[in-house]
Structure formats: structure tokens, C-alpha cells
Amino acid sequence: MKTTAVYFSPTRGSAKYAIEIAKAISEDFEEIDLTRPENRSREYRFSADDLVVFGAPVYGGKLPLLDQPLFGNILGDNTPAIFTVTYGNREIDDALLEMQEFCENKGFRGIAAAALLAEHTYSDKLAGGRPDKDDLRQAREFASKAVALLNIHIDSSKLHVPGNKPYRESRHMPMLTTTTDKCIGCGSCSRVCPVGAICAEDFAKVDETKCIGCLACLKGCPANARKVAGPDLDIVRNKLEPALAGIHK
């Protein structure tokens, strides 16, 4: 059975889990990184003899809001699938249910699902350093239990995940960044942006209509030369950190 990790992961937390799970199932696993816009524009088809591990972060209780549905070009044919979402200590709300229902409507058959902790996009005090070694060990154990379900042909209708319908309303949540005088002009911020929001000619310019607030540009800057413009990040941190720090250890 060919195993493929399919993920959207601007800051790599979701990717680490999806890859670890896929690798635990098959050393010959493949990857489709939907963080890259050119990969999202391609169509991928899977058969009933494949196994796909899906991974994505939770933004505001939903899957990331993009111009097109995140897994819209991933097509199955009664293909067994494992659904995973990552979150930073708040709540997954409807994201896992959204992933399950969307992918099952695309021809996938869910056999297992997991909500997994990863460092919060906006604060290293919330699930800081996650996933760690113990998280990845548990991910491998989860993979072993999930793949065992293939042998009993579990009915995907029996896979119940948290979430409510109608889903939470998707909200556009930009977190605009800009350059500082540390900028070395390497362009990594523009290259790692999953939605093309950072101008390739002037890295200080960010298209607010495209930005999804993932902060991949800030965390991926080798010179630590980006900062969030305005008070939005501090406002979010001051609200979340006292309430959520230390809940999951």
C-alpha cells in the first residue's frame, strides 16, 4: 500500500506529525506539501490501494481560509485516509470535522483521526516546542493503531470526530508583518509565504487581502528581520497566554 502525507503547514508543525505518521506506516512514504502554491494548483488522484495521511493547522477553529478549498485537488476512490489537525492549546472547534467531511466527499474513507498539539502560531508560550520527541512517539503509536484498522475494513460512518454543524464562520485573519533594518534582502519571507502575500520586489509590502496570519515569513526569516506591524499580535498574546499557558504539558 502506497502511503502519502498530504499537508498544509506554514510553520511545519502539521508537517512533522503527518510525516511521522506516514513514515511509521511505510518507510517508502511520499509527501505532497500543499503549503507551496504550485502544488495546490495540481491535481492528485489516489486509489483504494493507497493510504493518505492528511495534516493541517487550525486557524480560528477552522481549516486555513485560502482562495480555493485546501484539499480541493486531492481526489480519492474509496481511499483510506487518516485525518490530523494541529492546534496551539486553544481548541480545534470544527476543523477536524471539516477536514473529514470535505475529504470523504472527495472520495476518501476515514479510518482514524487525531487532534495534535503544536506550538501556537502567535506564542511560543502556548504548546512551546511542540511537537517534541514524546509527541512524535505518540504519533507513531497512533499510526500503528490506525493502520491496524485497515484489516477490519472499518466503516467510515463510524468515525466520529469533534465538531458542530453548521461550522463556525470562516474569518479572514491577516497578521501583517514588515521588515526591520536587519533585513538582508534574501527574499526568504516572500518564498515561504504560502499565499504569495509578500511582494517579491519590496519585502516590506504585504497584501492584506491575501495574508492568512500564519507568520511563516516571521518565523522563517534567517536574519530575524521581520516584525508584526501594529499592536494586533500583542493583543492576541495578552488574551490567550494567561488563559491557555500550561494547559497541555
Indicate if the pLDDT at residue 191 is higher than 70.
yes
For residue range 99-138, list pLDDT tens digits in order. 999 999 999 999 999 999 999 999 999 999 999 999 999 9
CB 72 within 8 A of CB 100: no
Question: Residue 248's pLDDT is what?
Answer: 66
Question: Residues with Cβ < 8 Å from 158, sequence gap 6 or more?
Answer: none
Long-range contact pairs involving 217-221 (C-beta distance under 8 Å, separation at least 24): 217/177, 217/189, 217/190, 217/192, 217/193, 218/177, 218/189, 219/11, 220/188, 220/189, 220/192, 221/188, 221/189
Question: Residue 153's pLDDT is what?
Answer: 59
Indicate if the pLDDT at residue 152 is higher than 80.
no
All three cell numbers of 9, joined, read: 503547514
pLDDT tier at 14, thresholds 50, 70, 90: very high
Q: Assign residue 44 a region: left if phi > 0, alpha if psi is -120 to 50, beta otherwise? A: beta
Distance CA 116, CA 113 (A): 10
CB 87 within 8 A of CB 40: no
Termini Cα distance of the chain: 35
CB 85 within 8 A of CB 115: yes
Q: Assign residue 18 a region: left if phi > 0, alpha if psi is -120 to 50, beta otherwise? A: alpha
Q: pTM of the prediction? A: 0.95
Q: What's the number of CA atoms in the CB half-sphere (13 Å) around residue 239?
A: 8
Distance CA 5, CA 29 (A): 7
Distance CA 109, CA 123 (A): 35
Question: Residue 7's pLDDT is what?
Answer: 98
CB 148 within 8 A of CB 99: no
For residue range 129-142, list pLDDT tens digits in order. 999 999 999 999 99
Question: Residue 121's pLDDT is what?
Answer: 94
CB 189 within 8 A of CB 226: yes
For residue range 25-66, list pLDDT tens digits in order. 999 999 999 999 999 999 999 999 999 999 999 999 999 999
